[in-house]
Amino acid sequence: MATAKDPNLRPIRTSSSFSRNPSAPSVAAPSPPVPGVKPGPSGAAFVSSGIPDLDKILGGGFLLGSVVMVMEDADAPHHLLLLRNFMSQGIVHRQPLLFASPAKDPRAFLGTLPSPVSSSKEERQRAPGLDPDAKDKEKGLRIAWQYKKYFGERQVPELHDRGIEQDFCSDFDLRKPLERQMFRAQQIDCISIQDSANLAVLREHCSTFLSNLSRNDGGNVNAGRIAIQSLCAPQCGYSEMDWDMVSFVRSLRAMIRSSNAVAVITFPTSVLSPSFSKRWQHLADTLLSVRAIPDEDKELAKLLTGYQDMVGLLHVHKVAQINTQVPVILEATTFSLKMQKRRSLILERLNQAPVDASSGTSYATSGGCSGSSKGSPLDF
Amino acid sequence: MAETICRTLRDGSLEGEQSPALTIKDSLQSPLGSHVFDHFLSTLVSHISAGKSQASGLVLVAFDRSPSFYLDLFKTKGLDASLVDKSVRILDCYSDPLGWKDRLLHSTNAEESILKGSGTVFKNVRDVNKLLSSILDLGKGFTGEGKVRFAVAIDLVSIMLRHVSLPSVAGFLNNLRSNDQISCIFWLIHSDLHEPRASAALEYISTMVASLEPMMQSSDGQGTSGSLLWLEENSCKAKFHVRLKRCNGRVKLLYEELHTEQAGIRFEAASSVRTIVNQNLLPRVQFNLQLSDKERVDRARVVLPFEHQGNGEAIQIYDGRRSLSEGQKDPYLMQPSAFSHKMNTQTNNEKGEIHYIRDSDDERPDSDEDPDDDLDI
């Protein structure tokens, strides 16, 4: 038969029944990998959000073909941090970018985008956070079961591909702006949505942008990014047309589903009526919210470790699941936003400070009717 | 604190950033908002005249009260009239906001509109762009060294919202804020004249929100019926809450009490200190289970009350007392959880033996508890 001569078929001779062979030129991955796009399970593809911790939390990054919505807090501009990292990552990976904002001059925002840090020792120091657990596991496992083989296979590429991990998601230095020359070689469209009386213009722009990124073209299409800041900000002309805004987001979502792009939309929930705020939240595939924390709050400082460094809180409400019926269940949904050395953004799980036994706080009185005038914030 | 607000208004904006914006919010139940506005206005004007503020002048957009009221106000506060003249320009949107007098002039030849010294009459409040340009024109009239910036005070944004839609007002305020000639801007609204959406939108645009709340909450919804005491209390006192958005992304919440007096208002530190804890903050906070290095070393050193310490030494049982004497050996293989039962019997001898039969050994297999019954075959 021709099988012996055919280089595309692998001879099935290994002892285990199935062996995963990533280098097999099978039909699953016909095209060479696009820079900045990582394949995931169930035929999904991820692009990085620009924040390594967020990628890990969301299970790989932002799913291509999904809409990410970020609920802003009226009190703090943290959504801009997320947007900046997202846009910078797109520029670093040479992905086309569409940016819409209610400012008069959206191009000015591009000047605040952070530039990636060239790999240094410090990143390697942080990255081992994921690896020593793996190494410990390898040493500590003494169960006589063959799965260790597969573990070894999977983990060795992880260790070697740390370089590739860095390519997927760069570490950004928020103090340094992105170099101008990166903008010139790029396709970046900026639109101001303040003076538009309706959303037709924005919709036009989005559809022309996405028509170049359609998923049905075979072959290698680059992933695109759409970033819309404060879509329902009160100064935009259409901000009282609630139903129009909802239908815009729905049509954007439909357009994105069939293209190789990710949209990140931030919106302030406080300026929408509660029912429409819920509708917007349901339209999202991935829903995050940022929240400000009170300043100089002694209660909070006692409750949490690392309160001094915290900039704000990030809450993950929903994680996108496309082509799969298995939901992503997160261990923790609330994270603190911290600036590491004022430079890069990290997300950490909230850690409770050790309880001071002498202070007699209300942890002990977590019953329904506590005598203290203010309830413990942990009552749940 | 009111002082913080006055200071922020005085210091104005940083280069390249939008100017600070203050919303003063009151309601029917605590109607002292205009007093608060007057207080901030006169403080700022005195700072401007004394040259202590970033702004070289102030443009006052008067919707609710006539310019003469403000001139009298400045006089009662002790501000010199000539200084006021130099540093304050009033845009009069009170006398004739929609330009009706002009139309009447045609037919009846009535009195002409008198242009006061420092007031320009604005006749078309529906045109927001024109309002913006008039403000900027008035602002250009201020002289000063270096970059000339001026402050803007808007008497009552609620009246603006009557004439134009919310997006226009929001856009107008936003344009003012982002204009680099503006040092700071503040305005007053009556929150019960609008839908909550409008107040939320204005709070979204501003960097400081000062809201007035009644001292005594009324039990019924109306609030006007009921005790005279309540009315009296609320018409001369109020709770003053301030929410400041700081540049590090955090929110500062302050609280004071407000009392009206003959000469104006007075702010007092709160009599009952209430900490405002963010209640909806953290549903699940985990404990940090990671050990630091020191903790790890300490943990390795702890002597466990087991037989085997895991380090190859002779079997020694630590019974919790201070001294770890060598002779105390007990050749029984109990689980450590039941250890405490037997501690008392160890007192005497080194060569004592204890025979112990586990309770579970002499149990008969209980027929009720046939474990195979659980299998549903």
Amino acid at A193: I
- Does residue A149 share a domain with residue A74? no
Q: Report yes or no on A359 lying in a domain.
A: no
- Does residue A280 share a domain with residue A156? no
* SS3 state at A171: coil
User: What kind and span of H or E run contains A62?
Assistant: strand A62-63
Mean pLDDT of A78-83: 90
- Does residue A260 share a domain with residue A159? no
Q: Is the pLDDT of residue B27 over 80?
A: yes
Nearest chain B residue (CA) to A197: B167
d(CA B355, CA B97): 103
Give the total number of structural domains in chain A. 2
pLDDT at position B333 is 42
pLDDT at position A350 is 77
Q: Report yes or no on A78 lying in a domain.
A: yes
Q: Is the pLDDT of residue B300 over 90?
A: no
Per-residue burial over A93-113, b if 16 or more Cβ lie within 10 Å, else e, is bebbbbbbbbbeebeebbeeb
Q: What is the ipTM of this complex?
A: 0.72
Contact A202, A248 (CB under 8 A): yes
What token pair was written down for B88? 């304050």
Query: Chain B residues with CB inside 8 Å of A349's CB?
Result: 286
Calculate what percentage of chain A has a pLDDT beyond 70: 69
Q: Which residue has the tokens 């009717």?
A: A369
Per-residue pLDDT reduced to its tens digit, B34-90: 888 998 998 898 888 888 888 888 899 988 888 889 888 888 888 888 888 888 888
pLDDT at position B316 is 54
- Does residue A203 share a domain with residue A60? yes
Confidence category of residue B284, pLDDT binned at 50, 70, 90: low
Q: Report yes or no on A29 lying in a domain.
A: no
* SS3 state at A196: coil
For A233-300, the three-class secondary structure string (H helix, E strand, C coil) is CCCCCCCCCHHHHHHHHHHHHHHHHCECEEEEEEEEHHHCCHHHHHHHHHHCCEEEEEECCECCCHHH
Tell me, rounded to whole angstroms, the distance of Cα B362 from its chain centroid.
69
- Does residue A161 share a domain with residue A84? no
For the ranges A255-259, B26-30, B37-41, the lowest mean pLDDT is seen at B26-30
- Does residue A217 share a domain with residue A154? no
d(CA B188, CA B60): 12
Whether residues B286 and A351 touch (CB distance < 8 A) is answered with: yes
The DSSP 8-state label assigned to residue A10 in this structure reads P
What token pair was written down for A344? 């890069």
* Domain that includes residue A149, residue range: 127-169
**Which residues neighbour A310 within 8 Å (Cβ) at sequence distance 6 or greater?**
A293, A304, A336, A337, A338
Contact A251, A259 (CB under 8 A): no
Nearest chain B residue (CA) to A378: B283
pLDDT at position A165 is 58
Pick A332's closest partner by Cβ from B167, B178, B286: B286
Interface check for A313 against chain B (CB to CB < 8 A): the answer is yes
pLDDT at position A152 is 44
Please choose, from the candidates A97, A99, A83, A111, the residue with its C-alpha nearest in 3D space to the C-alpha of residue A179. Answer: A111
What token pair was written down for A72? 């802003």
Mean pLDDT of A179-199: 79
- Does residue A131 share a domain with residue A261? no
Q: Report yes or no on A37 lying in a domain.
A: no
Query: Chain B residues with CB inside 8 Å of A271's CB?
Result: 197, 200-201, 204
d(CA A307, CA A23): 47
- Does residue A207 share a domain with residue A299? yes
Q: Report yes or no on A240 lying in a domain.
A: yes
Query: Chain A residues with CB inside 8 Å of B281's CB?
Result: 293, 300, 313, 377
Pick the more confident residue, B267 or B110.
Answer: B267
Pick B200's closest partner by Cβ from A103, A270, A298: A270
Pick B178's closest partner by Cβ from A74, A104, A295: A104
Q: How far is B282 from chain A (nearest CA, A)?
A: 7
- Does residue A197 share a domain with residue A164? no
Q: How far is A9 from chain B (nearest CA, A)?
A: 45
Query: Chain A residues with CB inside 8 Å of B275's CB?
Result: 297-299, 374
Mean pLDDT of A64-84: 90
Mean pLDDT of A48-69: 89
- Does residue A207 share a domain with residue A148? no
What token pair was written down for B293? 């290095």
For chain B, the three-class secondary structure string (H helix, E strand, C coil) is CHHHHHHHHHHCCCCCCCCCEEEEEEECCECCHHHHHHHHHHHHHHHHHCCCCCCCEEEEEECCCCHHHHHHHHHHCCCCHHHHHHHEEEEECCCCCCCHHHHHHHHHCCCCCCCCCCEEECCCCCCHHHHHHHHHHHHHCCCCCCCCCEEEEECCHHHHHHHCCHHHHHHHHHHHHHCCCEEEEEEEEEHHHCCHHHHHHHHHHCCEEEEEEECCCCCCCCCCCCCHHHHHHHHHEEEEEEEEECCCCCEEEEEEEEEEECCEEEEEECCCCCCCCCCCCCCCCEECCCCCHHHHHHHHHCCCCCCCCCCCCCCCCCCCCCCCCCCCCCCCCCCHHHHHHHHHHHCCCCCCCCCCCCCCCCCCCCHHHCHHHHCCC
Whether residues A234 and B170 touch (CB distance < 8 A) is answered with: yes
- Does residue A219 share a domain with residue A179? yes
- Does residue A272 share a domain with residue A342? yes
Whether residues B252 and A296 touch (CB distance < 8 A) is answered with: yes
Please choose, from the candidates A267, A292, A253, the residue with its C-alpha nearest in 3D space to the C-alpha of residue A102. Answer: A267
For the ranges A32-36, A184-188, B185-189, B252-256, the lowest mean pLDDT is seen at A32-36
For B129-177, the three-class secondary structure string (H helix, E strand, C coil) is HHHHHHHHHHHHCCCCCCCCCEEEEECCHHHHHHHCCHHHHHHHHHHHH
Confidence category of residue A76, pLDDT binned at 50, 70, 90: confident
pLDDT at position A218 is 58
Pick B249's closest partner by Cβ from A76, A298, A378: A76
d(CA A226, CA A47): 12
Calculate what percentage of chain B has a pLDDT beyond 90: 10
pLDDT at position B286 is 61
d(CA A221, CA A254): 19
Q: Is the pLDDT of residue A254 over 90?
A: yes
The dihedral through the CA atoms of B210, B214, B219, B224 has a sign that is negative
Q: Report yes or no on A177 lying in a domain.
A: yes
pLDDT at position A329 is 83
Q: Is the pLDDT of residue B192 over 80?
A: yes
Contact A247, A240 (CB under 8 A): no
Kindly list the structural domains of chain B, giving each domain's residue range(s) and its CATH number in brackets, ordered by start.
Answer: 2-280 (3.40.50.300)
* SS3 state at A27: coil
Q: Report yes or no on A266 lying in a domain.
A: yes
pLDDT at position B311 is 60
Size of interface A-B (CB pairs under 8 A): 127
Contact A293, B252 (CB under 8 A): no
Amino acid at A277: S
Contact A271, A233 (CB under 8 A): yes
Mean pLDDT of A318-341: 83
**Pick among A71, A72, A75, A316 to test the B interface (most B CBs inside 10 A):** A75
Interface check for B170 against chain A (CB to CB < 8 A): the answer is yes
The DSSP line for A95-108 is: --EEEEESSS-THH
Q: How far is A352 from chain B (nearest CA, A)?
A: 5
pLDDT at position B118 is 46
**CATH code assigned at A103:** 3.40.50.300
* Residue B145, phi then psi, degrees to nearest 5: -90, 150
Interface check for A350 against chain B (CB to CB < 8 A): the answer is yes
Angle between the N-to-C axes of helices A200-211 and A242-257, in degrees from 0 to 180, rounded to the nearest 10:
0
Q: Report yes or no on A291 lying in a domain.
A: yes
